[in-house]
Amino acid sequence: MLELGRFCVDPNYRDPKIIMTAWFAIRNFVEKNQIKFLFGCSSFFGTSIDRYLDCFKFLKCKYIAPKKLNPYVKAPKVFKFNKLINLNNFCLKKAKKNLPPLLSSYLNLGGWVSDHVVIDHDLQTMHVFTGLEVKDIPEKRLKFLYKINLN
């Protein structure tokens, strides 16, 4: 099991090679240590539920954690996805556009999220628990991770 923390890149130095370097290192560490499960939190900027309703509906429809792995609510301020109504009424394009890039990466690798978002007014963010079972990474994505070469 490996917990992954936040990954921040200065906006003045955004370069896809930086992200690729991180994935290269994670892939090597996971393989070397036979890690089977990755987890952490993915953050949404701000604390407005309405701003991300399309994202939350999209996540609720497709990416909720298996029941046995879904974390219990412990934080005092949360928005539970089971409060969402009209789940078929959301803009997929808007949902995908507004997903945090790191969360999109995890979802593309077969990841999933908790059934709630934690609202953190102090940091002006909202977080979803994010999990990824290494065995569930699609073959196509796995091949891509093995093609990353920093030389």
Sign (positive or negative) of CA dihedral 41, 44, 46, 50: negative
* Model confidence pLDDT, tens digit, residues 7-23: 777 888 778 778 778 88
Residue 30 has pLDDT above 90, yes or no: yes
Would you place residue 149 in the very low, low, confident or very high pLDDT band (cuts 50, 70, 90)?
low
Give the pLDDT confidence score for residue 87 in this predicted structure.
75
Residue span of the structural domain in which 118 resides: 2-6+15-147
Q: According to the model, what pLDDT value does residue 101 have?
A: 85
Q: How many contiguous H segments (helices) and E segments (strands) does the chain have?
A: 5, 6
Q: For 33-114, where are the alpha helices, taking DSSP H only?
A: 53-62, 92-98, 101-108
pLDDT tens-place string over residues 77-125 = 999 998 887 777 888 899 999 999 889 989 999 999 999 999 999 999 9
Cβ contact 78:122 at 8 Å: no
pLDDT at 151: 61
pLDDT at residue 143 tops 90: no
pTM of the model: 0.85
Domain count, the chain: 1
